[in-house]
C-alpha cells in the first residue's frame, strides 16, 4: 500500500499524459519524463522504460478501428526513415564532445521554438500533401532527434500537423510512429537487461490507468476545432524548443 501511495503522483501524470497523447497523437513521453525529472518522482531510466511499454498499451487501445484513417504510403516512408536515423543519432552523440552536443541541442531547440511560435500564431496548412520523399525526410529528422535527445516527436509533429489531412488521421499516424519507436526501444532495453522488476511493477500499476485514459481520449475528446488542435500542437513545439535551449545553457 505504501508503494502504491508513493507512486500515485507519477501514475496521475501518466494517466493525464496518455489522455493528451490519445487526443493529439503525441506528448506521453515528453510530459512523463519532464515531470519525473522536474519533481524527482522516480528514476528517469526506469520511467523511460515504462513509458515505452505504456506507449504500446496506449496505441493498442487508441488505434484499433482507426487504421483506415492512416495514409499508409506516408506512414511507411516515415517509418523507413526513423530506425536507421535513430541509430545514427546515437552514434553521433557518442562521437560529439559534450560542448558540441550542447551547442547542437541549443540550435535545434531555437529552430523548434521559432517554428512553434510562428505556426501557433497562424497555423498554416500546406495546399498539397507532401511527397513520400518528404515524409521519409521527416522520419530521418525524427530518428536523429530521437537518437540525439530522446525526442522523436518535434519533427514529426511539425511535418504532420502542416499536412492537409484530418486531425484524426494525423493523430493516428503519430500514434503509429511512436508505437514503432517504443517497440524498437523496448527491444533494445531488454537486450541490455533494463527491463527490471521495478519497471514491470510500475508498468503493471499503470496499465489499467493507461487503458482507461486511452479509451476516454477516444470516446470523449475535447471539443476543439482543427485550428485549435494545430495551435496546441505548435504551442507544445514551443515548450519543447525552449526546454532544449534551457537545458543546453544550464
With a threshold of 0.85, does the pTM exceed it?
A: no
Which of 6, 5, 10 has the alpha carbon at shortest distance from 39?
Answer: 10
pLDDT of 3: 57
Each residue of 63-84: pLDDT tens digit? Answer: 988 889 999 999 999 999 988 8
**Contact status, residue 118 vs residue 238, Cβ threshold 8 Å:** no
| Average pLDDT for 223-247 | 79
pLDDT of 2: 44
Chain centre to alpha carbon of residue 101: 21
Q: In which residue are the cell numbers 505504456 written?
A: 54
Give the whole-angstrom CA distance, residue 193 versus residue 185: 12
Each residue of 146-172: pLDDT tens digit? Answer: 777 667 777 888 888 889 988 889 889
**What is the helix (H) or strand (E) element at residue 49, kind and residue range?**
helix 44-62
**Contact status, residue 242 vs residue 112, Cβ threshold 8 Å:** no
pLDDT of 77: 94
Taking CA atoms, 170 is separated from 53, 132, 222, 233, in Å, by 22, 15, 16, 11
Each domain of the chain, given as residue ranges in start order, spans: 2-249
* pLDDT of 223 higher than 80: yes
pLDDT of 115: 72
Q: Would you state the cell numbers that stand for residue 163, as one nine-digit string?
A: 499536412
| Average pLDDT for 42-71 | 87
Give the whole-angstrom CA distance, residue 236 versus residue 112: 10
Q: Produce one character per residue of 148-165: b if its CB has 16 or more CB atoms within 10 Å, e if not.
A: bbbbbbbbbbbbbbbbeb
Amino acid at each position: 500500500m505504501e508503494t502504491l501511495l508513493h507512486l500515485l503522483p507519477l501514475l496521475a501524470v501518466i494517466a493525464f499524459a496518455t489522455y493528451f497523447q490519445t487526443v493529439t497523437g503525441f506528448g506521453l513521453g515528453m510530459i512523463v519524463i519532464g515531470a519525473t525529472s522536474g519533481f524527482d518522482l522516480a528514476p528517469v531510466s526506469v520511467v523511460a522504460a515504462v513509458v515505452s511499454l505504456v506507449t504500446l498499451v496506449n496505441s493498442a487501445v487508441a488505434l484499433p478501428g482507426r487504421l483506415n484513417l492512416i495514409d499508409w504510403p506516408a506512414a511507411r516512408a516515415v517509418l523507413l526513415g526513423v530506425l536507421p536515423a535513430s541509430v545514427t543519432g546515437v552514434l553521433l552523440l557518442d562521437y560529439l564532445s559534450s560542448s558540441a552536443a550542447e551547442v547542437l541541442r541549443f540550435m535545434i531547440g531555437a529552430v523548434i521554438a521559432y517554428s512553434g511560435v510562428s505556426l501557433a500564431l497562424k497555423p498554416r496548412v500546406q495546399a498539397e500533401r507532401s511527397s513520400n520523399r518528404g515524409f521519409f525526410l521527416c522520419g530521418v529528422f525524427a530518428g536523429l532527434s530521437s537518437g540525439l535527445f530522446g525526442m522523436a516527436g518535434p519533427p514529426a509533429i511539425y511535418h504532420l500537423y502542416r499536412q492537409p489531412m484530418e486531425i484524426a488521421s494525423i493523430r493516428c499516424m503519430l500514434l503509429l510512429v511512436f508505437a514503432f519507436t517504443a517497440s524498437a526501444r523496448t527491444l533494445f532495453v531488454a537486450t541490455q537487461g533494463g527491463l527490471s522488476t521495478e519497471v514491470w511493477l510500475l508498468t503493471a500499476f499503470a496499465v489499467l490507468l493507461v487503458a482507461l485514459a486511452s479509451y476516454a481520449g477516444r470516446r470523449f475528446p475535447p471539443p476543439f476545432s482543427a485550428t485549435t488542435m494545430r495551435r496546441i500542437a505548435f504551442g507544445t513545439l514551443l515548450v519543447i524548443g525552449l526546454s532544449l535551449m534551457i537545458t543546453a545553457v544550464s
